[in-house]
Copies of this chain bind each other. A is one copy, B any other.
Amino acid sequence: MNKILVFGHQSPDTDAITSAITFSHLQNELGKETEAVALGETTDETNYALNYFGVTAPRVITTAAEETQEVMLVDHNESQQSVPDIDKVKILAVVDHHRIANFQTANPLFYRAEPVGCTNTIIFKLFKENNVDIPKHIAGLMLSAIISDTLLLKSPTCTKEDENVAEELAKLAGVELEAYGKALLKAGTDTSSKNADMILNDDAKNFPMGNLTVRIGQVNVVDVDEILVRKQELLEEMASQSDANAIDLFILLVTDVLNSDSIAIVYGDEQAEVSKAFNKEITDATMVLKGVVSRKKQVVPPLTAQFK
């Protein structure tokens, strides 16, 4: 087998999983032989979307080079967020909406990034530009990703373009945007069955900042107290994982998806620096971040600036 593999980042969220599926669908319609795969198991939220639109979860891979020479990346570009042997394969294409860093190729490639709220908003445009029809289940997965990444169009990363695309996709998918969106987000916020490791890492990424490795996880809830009551358990797990994986600073962003606020649980020696970065006090390892919902736009930039 020698299909081109298409995948999103490690600890995949709904956009990482579905953009692999939707971009692979587009590429296959354009005559390429591709397969959507994943760098981790799907979350409850993603499973809700996959079940709703009758799509099977992509198989999980831990290596790319053993089965292909060519890959396409969606929803990420940084090598430390990708498959471990990314340096052994040729990257043909990237579709992403994040900053570009720790990314390098030997050859020209197709790279499409736009500062929008969701990778699938860009993939929607690629379908249009290439005059490829969007089937109902693909539209439904794209819509789910936009809802997930923009917290139902309320995140500061959400652009007018994401809104317009979401409305058009809701029609194609045959769902009512607001009702489907709330059900999807609610499906993703049940933390009662999750252990500390899952809460920390189901949607977590490493960011090199200065000399430090900063790991930032994010968990969406409808009530932050359900996480705060487990703070001691979470801090112990953060301590053990930081030690095992050479993480200098571990932050868990607990985001109230209905009110669009977050609290951060902070583990590591750099508490004073983190406090300075946000100009907020850290009390008992906890920092209140009113109006903060976007890791990419509201958490990574002030930390990057502080540790530069």
Contacts and interface: CB of A to CB of B under 8 A. Distances in A.
Given A100-B100, A111-B100, A111-B111, A106 B301 contact: yes
Contacts of A111: 100, 111-114
A243 interface: no
A308 B113 CA distance: 28
Question: Could you tell me the dominant secondary structure of chain A's interface residues?
Answer: loop
A101 B297 CA distance: 24
Q: Specify how many copies of this chain sit in the oligomer.
A: 2
A136 B54 CA distance: 51
A109 B105 contact: no
Given A101-B105, A110-B114, A111-B112, 17 more contacts: A98-B108, A99-B107, A100-B100, A100-B104, A100-B105, A100-B111, A101-B104, A103-B103, A107-B115, A107-B297, A108-B115, A108-B297, A109-B113, A110-B115, A111-B114, A112-B113, A129-B129
A110 B113 CA distance: 5
A215 interface: no
Interface in A10-28: none
B106 A103 contact: no
A97 B97 CA distance: 19
A130 to B, nearest CB: 11
A283 interface: no
